[in-house]
Every structure is written in structure tokens, then in C-alpha cells.
Amino acid sequence: MKINDYFKKSLSRQFAGLMGVFIFFFIAGTIVLVILQQNLSDSYNEKRAELVKKEALVQEIDSTFNRVFFDVRGYLAFDNDDMRISAQSKQPELRKMGKQLDELAASQDDKAYAREVREFIDYYFIEKLPATVNYFETGRIEEVKRLASTGATARVNTFQDDSLKYLQGINDQLNEEAEGLMEKQSYIQMGFVLFSFVILVLLARITRVMFRRVGQPLADFAAAANEIAAGREAVITVESSREDELGALSVAFQKMVWSVQDKEQDLTAQNEELLAQQDELQAQQTELEEMLEALRENELKLKRRNDLTNGISSSLDLQSILDSIVVNMCGIISADRGMIGLLNTKAAAAYAISASGVEQFMDHIENGLHERLIQSKKSFAIKRELLAGEKGYHEEVSYSYDLYLPVISSKDEVIAVMLFSRFGSPFSEKQMDEYEALSRQVGISLDNISLYSQSEEERKLNKDILNTVQEGIQMVSRSGAILQANRQLEEMFTCPGAAGRLENLPWEIWSAEMANKVEQPDEFLAFLQNAVHSDSCEMESIIYQMKQTGQVIKMYCEGLGQEDERIGTVLVHRDITKEFEVDQMKSEFVSTVSHELRTPLASILGFTELMLNRELKPDKQKKYLTTIYNEARRLTSLINDFLDVQRMEAGKQTYEKKYLRLLPIIEQVIEKQQINTDIHKIKIDDRSIGNDVILGDKSKVEQVFTNLISNAVKYSPGGGDIIIRLYQEDKSVLAEVEDKGLGIPEDALDKLFTKFYRVDNSDRRRIGGTGLGLSIVQEIMKAHSGSISVASSYGKGSIFTLSFPLIETAEEPGAISVPKASAEGYRVMVVEDDQSLAELIIQELSDSGFQVVHYKRGQEALDFLALHTPDAIVLDIMLEEEQVDGWRIMEQIKENDRLKNIPIIVSTALDEKEKGFSLGANDYLVKPYKPSQLSRAIMQTLLKIGKVGQILIPEK
């Protein structure tokens, strides 16, 4: 009874009790079903495992007996004793399996079959098999057959049949167990269905009880509440005698109904009073809304003006500002469209206007109404009828009011025009004054932009100028911070591309960073300290060297002042690496040249003095003269190198290019160079050459190979082979000069072709040289559209490779062949003011068979030519008589019809071949040259013009 009262006093307890009963029945039923299912499964698995084990054991027994039978028959058939032994060895195994079968036997059939197995084992292995083996081994085959026919075979067959029947019985038992399992499982399933139905019925009962005790009363309460809310009487059907929450709610609800009815009259009176107050508040709200709308309009105006101010002050880009001005002014003016155009730059921005309209506006910005605006500098408005394109879908007559506003600069000049159109709403005078004040603000902003643009352009120009200057420049404040640095300085002290990294760095950082990158940091910092922090640093300088690059930099400073006040220091870092290297090379060159020039001069003067002051034997005289001649050639070669470098640097070097074969030139050079050495063997390898024709100046090409082969000889002091390879590759003729000499250090390869450069090595210093040869070779190769390269292994030798453009020819050029005859009868006029050289030329030409006429002055030569016609003329350019020089003589000869075809061979120290050939010279020889070269040039020239009957070309 107490339990029943306990549940009646609480809906939650009632619900919990019902749900507890439901859960209890559900769990109990589920447990029972699970236990039944588990027991059934365990029983089946146990029985099945036992049957399977017996089945496997019987199959093993049967299989073993079959192997025994097979082995015995094999023994009897093939007399194989191993098979007998195998059969007999199966007896223990079979007895063991028979014992296992006894242990598993549960039924009478199991026990009977186990007994039969034991008996058959005894019968077969004890009675029959030994007797059979004995008969077979003693040769009594008939006894073996008799034994088989008298019952042994039948007994074996009987045993096998029994085994099969027993196995079949086991299979039948397995099937019966499976069917029994399925049947019992079906019973359990039916029980589960019945249990589920009972659970559902129980759940439905619980639901019905809860609906009747809780849901229905709650529905009654809701209906009563709706009735009360509608102002009608309400009857509460819930029993007030209930002890649970609904009973208490029923009592409270009834009291509430009474209270509501009591207060309804008071509320009605108050409601009438509130309605009156509401009308009053509504009037006040309308007034406040009007005030709020006015405040919002003012706020919007202020926002638009603020947007205009921010737009023209937050950016310095002209187009962005113009766009912002137009958009914000349209918002302030409430204009439907508008634009602004600048008078000076023709820049413009528009809102709701087509591109063609903007173009039309700008084309006539200084005409019509705009002109009035520019002259008056006052705003004005124009009323006009809307065009058809502006009306849209409106058909009635409408008007547009166009407002013209001038944008006036600080100089009181109109710099821009603004035009805004407002449809259907005119502009008042007050509004126009207000908008005109805004336009003045716009003018101030445009002035600021113009000033900024000018300042920015000047700043960029100054920056570009500083970056263009080759020197590194930095401007430092009085405190030591870097105000500005150009790109060259950044590249000197930082990585390339790190623009602006040094700017704004304080003294402590940048000075230490720079000092860490130079070879003399203490001197460098001392100079910086004095330059930046002292009162005067003008024209002071220091030379320092960079650690990583090895650059030599000269730094000097200049004070930066403004209105007689020093505001900073300008430091200039000038890269003088090349000048420094050139100075070093020139100093070395002067030392080298003084030695190279004085050595041959000393020999020449010494041997000449001996010949003048002593009586010498002919063989001694010849030896001394040979030495003087060789030293003079050496001196001439040095002077020619200096002159070649000078002409090449001045761009005045001329080349007389003809089609040449390289092989004969190389052979000629080898012949000359081989005479000067006994410890070197100069070889040429031209096996792979096909076509070796090039377009070049023979003397210059010969000079190239002379320099390279001479170097190979000089820089191979130990002797050895010098190999010249000549071969064709693609469209180039390549020539390699290989020696096995000293080689070239790797760090010197990139400087090898620099003027005056010599490898700093004691072995090479002893060899001598000016350092000009390879630079001359490189310039000559460039002039021939070729190239030179070098590969070297230090201490093992070098290979210099020349590349000439190949000339495709159908025939190889052959040597000029002429008939040999006497040169007597041909007269040559020599015009030469140097008497010694003139005597040498006369002797050479006379020995070659020519008749020679000599004149020292130009006028004398012209007088001779007025009466005579020589066969050839040897002409010097620089003559004693200043008014008639060699150029003048050539001009007058070429103007005379009788004389203009006379061949002229120029013999001069001036290297102006282009001018000589342009005036009509047939050949041009630069002093000094071999005398035989002159006679050969005259003979070849006479050959070309057809005088072949009396000319003999002397051998070299």
C-alpha cells in the first residue's frame, strides 16, 4: 500500500516504474533466449566435433589399411621387400588408432566397430600376413593363392564394407544433429517472435496508461487555457483529488482563473488609459522620426563630404583622386551624372557618362560655356530639356539642371572644370555657394598632387642619375645614418638586387658592415669617422680593397650644406680596379720594355763599336753583322708590336685582305722559327685538312702564327715537340699550336690576352717578353672574324686554338707562275729623302736588274715625270720638302693621263694603307721591311699589268 501511494504522488515515479517493469521483462526475456541459443549451439558443436573426430579416425584407419594392402600386393607382384617392410611397419600405427577408437566409442555400434578393427588387425598381421610372406619367400605361390581363395580376400572385403557402412552411419548422425539444430533454432525463433509481441503489447499498455493519466489531463488544461484566453468560462475536468503534480496543477489553475477574473476589470480600465497615452506617444514618435530623418540627411552630407576629403587626401595618384572627386561630388550634389577635366594635362574622370561623351567634353574644354567659366571663375547653372536618350521610359517633358564649377588653384587660376547634371531638381544659390567652396578644396588637393608629382619626378630623376653614375654614392646625415645610397654602392657592399638595404641604417651598423668587407678595416673606419663627424673633409680620399672581389676602390668625401649649415656628408666610392691594374701593368711594362729594348741595343752598339775600332777578319765581321742584323730584327719586332697596339687602340689598323691558303703561311713561319732553335722540333699535322682558304691579310696572319710559335718555343725551355694541327670543322678552319712547355696557371687564363699582362712566375721572368704578343693576336683574329682560345695544364704545356671563317672555293689558289727572263730595260724611279735607305733600295733593285732613278725632293720627282715615263715608282710619303709630299705626288700622277697607269709602291713609316690604296697605290710597304720584299712587290705588280717578258721573280 505504501508503495502504491509512493508512485501515485509523482508522475515521474509512475513513468519510471512503468519503464522499469518494461525494461525488466525485456532484459529477462532477452537473457533467456540468449542462454537457450548458446546452450543449443554448444551442444551441437560438441557432438559434431566428436563425430568429426571419429570420422577422421576411421578414414585414417581405412586409408592406412589400403596402403598396407597396396604394399602387400606390390610385394607379391614385384618381390619388393621394401614394400613388405612398409606394410608390416603400419601395424603399430593401426593398433594405436584402434585404441583411440575404443576411447571415442560411445554407442554399441562404435564399440562393435572398434572390436572388429582389433580383430582384423590380429587376423591380418598375426594369422595371414606372416603365413603369406613365408609361402612367398619359400616359393610356394600356390599356397599363397590357396590362402587368398580360402577366405582371406573375403575377410578383407568384408572389413572394408563395414568401414564404409560405419562412415556412412557417422555422416547420418552428423546430418541428424544438423537437422535437430535447425529444428530447435526454429523453436527459439518462434519464442523470440512471441517475446517481441509480448514486449510490444506491454509497451502499448504502458503508453495507454501514460496517455490516460498524463496526456488527457494536459489536453484538458490546454483547452481550458484557450477558453480563458478567449474570455470565456472554462471548466476543468481534471480531478482535484489526484495526489500527483496534475492534481496540484488543477488546484493552482482554478485559483488562477479566479484571480484573472477578479483583475480583468482593473485591466480593462488601465487599458483605456494606456490607449490614450499611446495616441500621445504616437504623435511624439512622428515628431522624433522627422527629426531623425533630418539628422540622417545631415549625417549623410557630412559622410559624403568626409568621403570627398578622404578621397582627395588618402592617395597621390591623380586618376584615382579624379575618380573619387567625381563620385563623391555626385553624391554630395545628388547629381545623376558628372565629370571633371583638367585643362593642362587633359586628364579626366566621369560618372555615368560614356567614353565618347568624355572625349567630346575634353575636346571642347576651353570653348563655349567652359570659356565663360574660365573667364568668370564663378559657378553657374543651366536649365535644359532632357534628351530622348536621357529620359529612359519617361514620355513627358523633363528638364536637366547642369552645374558648372571651376576648380581654382592657389595661384587663382582655373586648372580644371567640373560639370554635374541633376534631373528635375534645380540648384539654389545657397547650394551653388556651398558647392563652389568644395571646388576650391578640390583645387587645393590638385595643387598638392601636382607639387608631389613634381617632387617625386625630381626624386626619381635624381635617383636614376645616381644609379647611372658608375661610382658608388652615399649621403650620410650628421648623426651618421645613411640618407640615400645608389645601386652601385649596394652592389659593392651587399648582394646585387638588394636595393635600398643600406638606406636608413645607423652609423654603428653600416660602418661595421662595410669595414668587415674591406682589407684595411681600421684605416677605413678612421677615414669614415673623420669624414662623417668632422667639420671639414673636402678632397680627402682613401684607397681600399674589397675582400671577396679584390676590387680596388677610391673613396673621397664632400660636405653637404644647406644655407651655410652642414647637414651631412657625401661619400663617393670609385672603382679604380682597372686603373690600378693598368698602372701596375704599365709599371711592369716600362721595366720590361726598358730591359727588352736595351738588350738588343747594347748588342748592336757593342758589335758596331768593335767593327769600327778594330780590324776584324771577314768571318768575324760576318758573325758580328749577323748578330747586329738579328738584334735589329728583334728591336724592329718590339717596335712594331708597340705601334700595332697603338693603332689597334686608335682603331686605325688597316688590313689588306686577300684569299689565302693557311698551310703555306704556316710552313713559311715554321721554316723561319726552326732556324732559331735546335732543341725543339716543330711539326705540322694537316692530314685532316680539306679546304684551308681564308680571307685575310697575309702579313697579319703570318704575324699571328709567328707570335704563337715563337711563344711555344720560348716557353718550352726544355725543348720538345711543337705540333701545329690544321683541320676543318663545320664552316671554320681551325689551327692548333701545342707545346709541352711550362703551361699556364688556371688563375691566369682569363687575363692572358690582356695588354702588358705577363704571368707572375720566375721561370717566365727569365724568358722575357713585353706581354703584347697575345693581345695583338687576339685583335688580329677579331679583325678576321675569327677567335682564339687556350687550354693549358700547368707544368704540362698549352694548346692555343685559332678559328678562321672558311671560304668555300671551287679551286684551290695556286702560286703565281711567271716566265723567267731578264729584268734589264725596266726603269724604276725611287723618291726617298733618307739617303741611307735610298742607297739600300737602289742596291736591291739594281741587283734585281732594274734601272733606278733616285730623287730626294718631291718637286724634283715631278719635274722628272714631266719629261719621262718610268715603269714603276717607289714613293716615300714624308719628304724633306713640306709642300710636295708623297700624297701630293700621287694625286698629280693620277690626274695625268700619261702617268696614271704607272704602278706606285708606297714605302713609308706611316701606317695609312687605306688612304694610300684610295689614292691609287698598287702596294703599300710599312718600314722597316726586307729589301727583297720591295723588289718582289714591284715584279708582282708589273706582272698584274701585263709586263711579263722581262721580269724575273727572285726566290725567297
pLDDT interval class at 245 (50, 70, 90): low
All cell numbers assigned to 492: 659593392
Q: Which of 62-66, 582-586, 772-776 shows the lowest mean pLDDT across its residues? A: 582-586
- The verdict on residue 436 lying in a domain is yes
Over residues 733-748, mean pLDDT = 88
Over residues 702-717, mean pLDDT = 89
Question: What pLDDT, on a 0 to 100 scale, did the predictor assign at position 421?
Answer: 93
Instruction: Compute the distance between CA of residue 362 and CA of residue 341 in angstroms, rounded to an integer.
Output: 7
Cα angle: 446, vertex 450, 456; to 5 degrees: 140
Contact assessment for residue 865 and residue 888, using Cβ atoms and an 8 Å cutoff: no
pLDDT interval class at 50 (50, 70, 90): confident
Is residue 821 scored above 60 in pLDDT? no
Residues 42 and 155 in one domain: yes
- The verdict on residue 585 lying in a domain is yes
End-to-end CA distance of the chain: 155
Is residue 819 scored above 50 in pLDDT? no
Question: What pLDDT, on a 0 to 100 scale, did the predictor assign at position 530?
Answer: 85
pLDDT interval class at 790 (50, 70, 90): very high
- 382 forms beta bridges with 402
Is residue 693 scored above 60 in pLDDT? yes
* Residue range(s) defining the domain that contains residue 699: 653-803
pLDDT interval class at 404 (50, 70, 90): very high
- The verdict on residue 246 lying in a domain is no
Contact assessment for residue 716 and residue 740, using Cβ atoms and an 8 Å cutoff: yes
Among 101-105, 571-575, 594-598, name the most confident range: 571-575
Over residues 818-842, mean pLDDT = 74
Residues 191 and 42 in one domain: yes
Strand blocks (E) in 442-522: 472-477, 482-485
Q: Are strands 482-485 and 565-575 parallel, antiparallel or unpaired?
A: unpaired
Residues 829 and 910 in one domain: yes
Residues 26 and 175 in one domain: yes
* Integer CA distances (angstroms), 96 to 16, 90, 103, 135, 157, in order: 67, 10, 11, 29, 22
Comparing 952 with 147, the larger pLDDT belongs to 147
pLDDT tens-digit readout, 67-91: 888 888 888 888 888 888 888 888 8
pLDDT tens-digit readout, 529-566: 888 887 766 547 888 888 888 888 888 888 887 767 78
pLDDT interval class at 146 (50, 70, 90): confident
pLDDT tens-digit readout, 754-763: 777 777 544 5
Comparing 439 with 562, the larger pLDDT belongs to 439
Domain count along the chain: 6
Over residues 20-28, mean pLDDT = 82
Comparing 490 with 809, the larger pLDDT belongs to 490
Instruction: Compute the distance between CA of residue 30 and CA of residue 534 in angstroms, rounded to an integer.
Output: 104
Over residues 860-866, mean pLDDT = 90
Is residue 2 scored above 70 in pLDDT? no
Question: What pLDDT, on a 0 to 100 scale, did the predictor assign at position 798?
Answer: 92
- The verdict on residue 139 lying in a domain is yes
Residues 521 and 419 in one domain: no
Question: What pLDDT, on a 0 to 100 scale, did the predictor assign at position 803?
Answer: 94
Give the CATH number of the domain where residue 371 resides.
Answer: 3.30.450.40
Is residue 811 scored above 50 in pLDDT? no
- The verdict on residue 190 lying in a domain is yes
pLDDT interval class at 11 (50, 70, 90): low
Residues 392 and 428 in one domain: yes
pTM comes to 0.38
Over residues 370-376, mean pLDDT = 85
Give the CATH number of the domain where residue 609 resides.
Answer: 1.10.287.130
Q: Which of 537-541, 589-593, 601-605, 811-815 shows the lowest mean pLDDT across its residues? A: 811-815
The percent of residues above 90 in pLDDT, for the chain, comes to 10
Residues 694 and 759 in one domain: yes
Give the CATH number of the domain where residue 694 resides.
Answer: 3.30.565.10
Comparing 394 with 780, the larger pLDDT belongs to 780
Is residue 143 scored above 50 in pLDDT? yes
- The verdict on residue 387 lying in a domain is yes
Contact assessment for residue 724 and residue 713, using Cβ atoms and an 8 Å cutoff: no
Over residues 728-751, mean pLDDT = 86
Over residues 48-60, mean pLDDT = 81
Q: Are strands 923-926 and 904-908 parallel, antiparallel or unpaired?
A: parallel
Is residue 947 scored above 60 in pLDDT? no
Question: What pLDDT, on a 0 to 100 scale, did the predictor assign at position 403?
Answer: 92
- State which of 409, 432, 454 marks the end of a domain: 454
* Integer CA distances (angstroms), 634 to 328, 710, 773, in order: 90, 12, 13
Comparing 818 with 711, the larger pLDDT belongs to 711
Question: What pLDDT, on a 0 to 100 scale, did the predictor assign at position 9?
Answer: 62
Contact assessment for residue 708 and residue 781, using Cβ atoms and an 8 Å cutoff: no
Comparing 676 with 282, the larger pLDDT belongs to 282
Give the CATH number of the domain where residue 940 resides.
Answer: 3.40.50.2300
Over residues 890-906, mean pLDDT = 91
pLDDT interval class at 951 (50, 70, 90): very low
Residues 667 and 758 in one domain: yes
Residues 568 and 595 in one domain: no
Contact assessment for residue 745 and residue 759, using Cβ atoms and an 8 Å cutoff: yes
Is residue 252 scored above 80 in pLDDT? no
Residues 443 and 530 in one domain: no
- The verdict on residue 463 lying in a domain is no
- The verdict on residue 435 lying in a domain is yes
Is residue 423 scored above 80 in pLDDT? yes
DSSP 708-769: HHHHHHHT-TT-EEEEEEEEEETTEEEEEEEE-SS---GGGGGGTTSTT-----HHHHHH--
Q: For the chain, what is the mean pLDDT?
A: 81
Residues 666 and 622 in one domain: no
Residue type, 199: I
Residues 195 and 50 in one domain: yes
Question: What pLDDT, on a 0 to 100 scale, did the predictor assign at position 204?
Answer: 83
Peptide bond into 928 cis (omega under 30): yes
Give the CATH number of the domain where residue 474 resides.
Answer: 3.30.450.20
Contact assessment for residue 796 and residue 819, using Cβ atoms and an 8 Å cutoff: no
Q: What is the DSSP letter of 352?
A: S
Contact assessment for residue 167 and residue 59, using Cβ atoms and an 8 Å cutoff: yes
Is residue 111 scored above 90 in pLDDT? no
Is residue 822 scored above 60 in pLDDT? no
pLDDT tens-digit readout, 161-209: 888 888 888 888 778 777 877 887 788 888 888 888 888 888 888 787 7
